[in-house]
Amino acid sequence: MEGGAIAVPWYRGISFKVSAVIVALVVATVAVVGWIFLTSLHRYTEGVLKSRGRYIATTLAQQAVEPILYEDRVALLKLIESFQPEAGELSAEAAIVAYAEIRDRDGRPLVEAGRTATPPAVAISVGPGVMVADHGGLVFEVAAPVVVKGVAIGQVRVGVSRALARGRLRSLAGQIALLLALAASLAATATVLLSRRFIRPLVQMIRGARRIGEGGWGTQIGVHTHDETGELAATFNEMSVRLQQAFEEIHRTQTQLIQSERLSILGSFAAHLAHELKNPLTSIKLSMQAMGEVGFDGCLDPEERELILNDVAHMDEVITSFLAYGRRRPVVSVAVEVVPLLEEIGRRLGARGRQAGVAVELDLTPDLGRLHLDPERLSEALENVVTNAIQVTPPGGVVAVEARRLEDGGLRLAVADRGPGIAAEARVHLFEPFFTTRHGGTGLGLAIAQQGVADHGGQIEVESVVGEGTVVTITLPGGRTASGSEAAGYDGALSGQR
Ligand SMILES: Nc1ncnc2c1ncn2[C@@H]1O[C@H](COP(=O)(O)OP(=O)(O)OP(=O)(O)O)[C@@H](O)[C@H]1O
Ligand SMILES: [Mg+2]
């Protein structure tokens, strides 16, 4: 599923929705603006046409006075024909005049040119004596009287054509429609590209969330923009890291709890068993010693007696460590000077090492200060770890014990040996009680050490390379544990920090 496609149909995706909204907005805006523009232009053109028509009709009427008085039809015809369009005619008046005619005072036509349609019946007055008859068709008619000294001697009628204006309006509307289509496709392309750019981080986040859901704690998203998506991605990454930390913490605590529970059951069992065996074993030991002292011989030779006594001594040793393990008391922390404590432990371990021909070298720094801990339980833990190291080091070898103060005020102890190392299969069982590969070992040393360190709120870790050696690290925290129980911690009064 990792990096899989996002299962949202395209028509439900944000990209499509955003594009649809923006395209609709752009189309609506262009359409409304275009419509307003065309309507205003239409109204303006109508006004211009009407006033041009009136001007043409009144001009014709003035020029027709004389030819009417002299009944000069030829001059009248020339006059109206001069307003008719000819091929290549560019005059605005000529272009809009559909027809023109001049009538006498009784309304009888004297001359006419270009008339194709019957003039409309209803006319309204648009000035002194000037009428306009309009049906909204391609042509409307303007009529003006021919007046001499206040007396009407005839009438001029001019058909004004809207064809030119309408043609221009139509071609403008076509251009606007083209603009509309262009704007819509541009808006669609731009929004699809833009929204994809904005959605990409979202898709990455969905994939990241899926990976986390599948157990990929700590998954990070590579979105580094300086906007809200970048912020969201940074928050996501932070959340992912916190989840990972929380998961690891839960896992560690759970392991510790299981181990602690197991140890506690085993501990009481071991203590009970050891307690029951201790007295009979002491009786056997005393009897064997007594047998030797009274010179009881014949049934047991001294060598066999010595062998039995040795075995009894080993059993006693095992039982004593079982008892020690089973009766461990809880940690009681006190403020302790770390350097003198480690030096004292070092002296004891040095003596143990010397017996095996191994040097125990202590490397301490003077800044170790004071720490809240249980000296007995810490010594027990450290001694078990160092004893293991001495046991695997050949005579003439060295076991190095290093103590360092941590930045958080805690303490790190590292015990390094150049022994045979620990195989990976054995490493997972190291802290289990009774796990041992050593002849005569009880397998309790590291279990006791881990319990002691955990009771201080610390951790014990093992790094080992087969054939090269092992480093066991004990880390004690610098403060108190969150539960409020006393864990290891430096004394603020002396060290200046907690
Ligand atoms: N420094 C080390 N190098 C190699 N193996 C080690 C080291 N420390 C521990 N081990 C392995 O871990 C096992 C368990 O150690 P642990 O101290 O718990 O028990 P033990 O030493 O066998 O017995 P005891 O109870 O007497 O300590 C050992 O038997 C040994 O196999
Ligand atoms: Mg041991």
**Can you give the CATH number for the domain in which 362 is found?**
3.30.565.10
Q: What letter represents residue 484's amino acid?
A: G
> What tens digit of pLDDT does each residue of 155-195 get?
999 988 888 888 888 999 999 999 989 998 998 899 888 88
Highest mean pLDDT among 1-15, 37-51, 378-392: 378-392
Query: What b/e string do you get for 13-47 counting C-beta neighbours within 10 Å, with b at 16 or more?
Result: eebbebbeebbeebbeebeeebeeeeeeebeebee
Residue with the bigger pLDDT between 122 and 220: it is 220
**Spatial separation of the C-alpha atoms in residues 95 and 436, rounded to whole Å:** 116
Binding-site residues, ligand 1, Cβ < 6 A: 384, 388-389, 392, 417, 419-420, 422, 426, 430, 435-438, 441-447, 470
Ligand 1 pocket test, pick from 436, 462, 472 with the greatest ligand atom count within 8 Å of Cβ, gives 436
Put the strands of the sheet holding 359-364 in their side by side order.
359-364, 398-405, 411-417, 469-476, 459-465
Q: Are 422 and 462 in contact (CB under 8 A)?
A: yes
Quick check: is 423 in a domain?
yes
Q: How far is the CA of 449 from the centre of ligand 2 (A)?
A: 9
Query: Does residue 235 fall inside a structural domain?
Result: no
Sheet with 130-133, edge to edge strand ranges: 109-113, 97-104, 151-161, 139-148, 130-133, 124-127
Tens digit of each residue's pLDDT (9 = 90 or more) over 105-147: 888 889 988 776 665 656 777 677 888 888 888 888 899 999 9
Nearest C-alpha to atom 26 of ligand 1 is from which residue? 441
Report the separation in Å between the CA atom of 457 and the middle of ligand 1, taken as the mean of its atom positions.
23
For residue range 337-355, list pLDDT tens digits in order: 999 999 999 999 999 999 9
* pLDDT for the residue 493: 34
Ligand showing the shortest atom-to-Cα distance for residue 427: 1
CA distance 364 to 405: 9
Ligand 2 midpoint to CA 442 (Å): 8
What six digits make up the tokens of 42? Answer: 């239409």
Residue 289 lies in a domain: no
For residue 338, the CA-to-ligand 2 centroid distance in Å is 24
Q: Do the domain assignments include residue 82? A: yes
What is the number of the ligand closest to the CA of 325?
1
In the chain, what percentage of residues exceed pLDDT 70? Answer: 89
Q: Whose CA is nearest to atom 28 of ligand 1?
A: 436
Q: How many CB atoms lie within 10 A of CB 319?
A: 21
Return the residue matching tokens 């009136």: 54
Q: Could you tell me if residue 377 is inside a domain?
A: yes
How far apart, in whole angstroms, are the C-alpha atoms of residue 398 and residue 394?
A: 9
Overall average pLDDT of the 322-347 stretch? 86
Nearest to 359 by CA among 313, 394, 407, 316: 394
Q: How far apart are CA 106 and CA 121, in angstroms?
A: 17
Ligand 1 atom showing the smallest separation from residue 419 Cα? 3
Pocket perturbation via mutation, ligand 1, pick of 425, 437, 446 by most ligand atoms within 8 A of CB: 446
- Per-residue pLDDT at 308: 84
More confident residue, 290 or 69: 69
Q: Which of 67-71, 85-89, 286-290, 475-479 has the highest mean pLDDT?
A: 67-71
**Is 458 a member of any domain?**
yes
Atom 7 in ligand 1: residue holding the nearest Cα: 388
| Residue 443 alpha carbon, nearest atom of ligand 1 | 19
* pLDDT tens sequence across 447-466: 889 989 988 989 999 999 99
Ligand nearest to the CA of 423: 1
How would you classify the pairing of strands 398-405 and 359-364?
A: parallel
Residue by residue, what is the 3-state secondary structure of the chain? CCCCCCCCCHHHCHHHHHHHHHHHHHHHHHHHHHHHHHHHHHHHHHHHHHHHHHHHHHHHHHHHHHHHHCCCHHHHHHHHHCCCCCCCCCCHHHHHEEEEEEEECCCCEEEEECCCCCCCCCCEEEECCEEEECCCCCEEEEEEEEEECCEEEEEEEEEEECHHHHHHHHHHHHHHHHHHHHHHHHHHHHHHHHHHHHHHHHHHHHHHHHHHHCCCCCCCCCCCCCCHHHHHHHHHHHHHHHHHHHHHHHHHHHHHHHHHHHHHHHHHHHHHHHHHHHHHHHHHHHHHHHHHHCCCCCCCCHHHHHHHHHHHHHHHHHHHHHHHHHCCCCCCCEEEEHHHHHHHHHHHHHHHHHHCCCEEEEEECHHHCEEEECHHHHHHHHHHHHHHHHHHCCCCCEEEEEEEECCCCCEEEEEEECCCCCCHHHHCCCCCCCCCCCCCCCCCHHHHHHHHHHHCCCEEEEEEECCCEEEEEEEECCCCCCCCCCCCEECHHHHCCC
Ligand nearest to the CA of 444: 1
Residue where a domain terminates, one of 145, 169, 193: 169
Which of residues 113, 135, 169 is at a domain's end? 169
- Measured in angstroms, how far is the CA atom of residue 435 from the centroid of ligand 2? 10
Q: Minimal CA–CA distance to 449: which of 494, 497, 388?
A: 388
> In angstroms, what is the span from residue 381 Cα to ligand 2's centroid?
10
- Nearest-ligand number for the alpha carbon of 440: 1
Does residue 323 lie in a domain region? no
Average pLDDT, the chain: 84
Domain that holds residue 45: 15-169
Do 327 and 300 form a contact (C-beta atoms < 8 A)? no
311-321 tens-digit pLDDT: 888 888 878 77
Residues, CB within 5 angstroms of ligand 2 (ion): 388, 445
Residue whose pair of structure tokens reads 């349609």 in the numeric block: 117
289 Cβ neighbours under 8 A, 6+ residues apart: 309
Distance of CA 389 from the midpoint of ligand 2 (Å)? 8
**Residue 89 pLDDT:** 44
Ligand 1 atom with least separation from CA of 448: 18
pLDDT score for 68: 93
The CATH number of whichever domain residue 40 belongs to comes to 3.30.450.20
Q: Which two tokens stand for residue 47?
A: 């006004």
Max avg pLDDT among 281-290, 320-329, 413-422, 484-493: 413-422
Last residue of a domain, one of 139, 169, 199: 169
How many Å apart are CA 108 and CA 374, to the nearest integer? 135
> Does residue 481 carry a pLDDT above 50?
no
- Residue 176 located in a structural domain: no
pLDDT at 85 (0 to 100): 57
pLDDT of residue 459: 92
Cα of 29 from ligand 1 centre, angstroms? 83
pLDDT for residue 479: 65
CA of 447 relative to ligand 2 center, distance in Å = 9
Ligand 1 atom closest to the CA of 388, numbered from 1: 8
Determine the distance separating the centroid of ligand 1 and the alpha carbon of 388, expressed in angstroms. 5
Distance CA 59, CA 55 (A): 6
- Gap from CA of 390 to ligand 1 centroid (Å): 10
pLDDT one-digit tens code per residue, 365-403: 998 989 999 999 999 999 999 999 999 999 999 999 999
Residue closest by Cα to atom 13 of ligand 1? 436
Question: What total number of domains does the chain contain?
Answer: 2
User: Mutation test of ligand 1: which of 438, 448, 468, 471 has the most ligand atoms closer than 8 Å to its C-beta?
Assistant: 438
Ligand 1, atom 8, lies closest to the CA of: 388
**Which candidate, 333, 332, 405, 334, places its Cα nearest to that of 367?**
405
